[in-house]
Structure 1
Amino acid sequence: MEVRGNTTELLEQKIASLKFHQRLLMKMVKKEGNEFFTLVIEEKLSEMEVQDFYKLCETLSKEYKEQKADKFVFFFPLFKKFIEELNPKLDAKETIIACLKQKLYPELMEVLEKNL
Structure 2
Amino acid sequence: MENKGYDTEMLAFHVRLLSQMSRADHYPFMKMILEKGLKEEEYQEVLFLLHTLHNKYEDQKEEGLLDYTSLLIHFAGMLNMKLHPDDTIEALRKEGMYVELMEEFKQIIIKDRYVETRFPVKAR
Q: TM-score range by the shorter chain?
A: 0.7 to 0.9
Q: Identify unmatched segments of 5+ residues in structure 2.
A: 7-13, 110-124
User: 1:32 deviation in Å?
Assistant: 2.0
How many equivalent pairs are there?
A: 95
Aligned AA for 2:106? E
Moved over 3 A (4+): none
SS at match of 2:66: coil
Q: Which has the larger radius of gyration?
A: 1
Higher helix share: 1
User: 1:106 deviation in Å?
Assistant: 1.0
* Structure 1 match to 2:38: 45
* Structure 1 match to 2:61: 68
Matched ranges for 1:37-116 at <5 A = 37-116=30-109
Partner Cα separation in structure 1 for residue 108 and residue 46 of structure 2: 19
Q: What RMSD in Å do the two structures reach over aligned CA positions?
A: 1.9
Q: Identify unmatched segments of 5+ residues in structure 1.
A: 1-10
| Structure with more relative contact order (C-alpha pairs < 8 Å, separation 6 or more) | 1
User: 1:107 deviation in Å?
Assistant: 1.5
What percentage of residue pairs aligned between the two structures are identical?
28
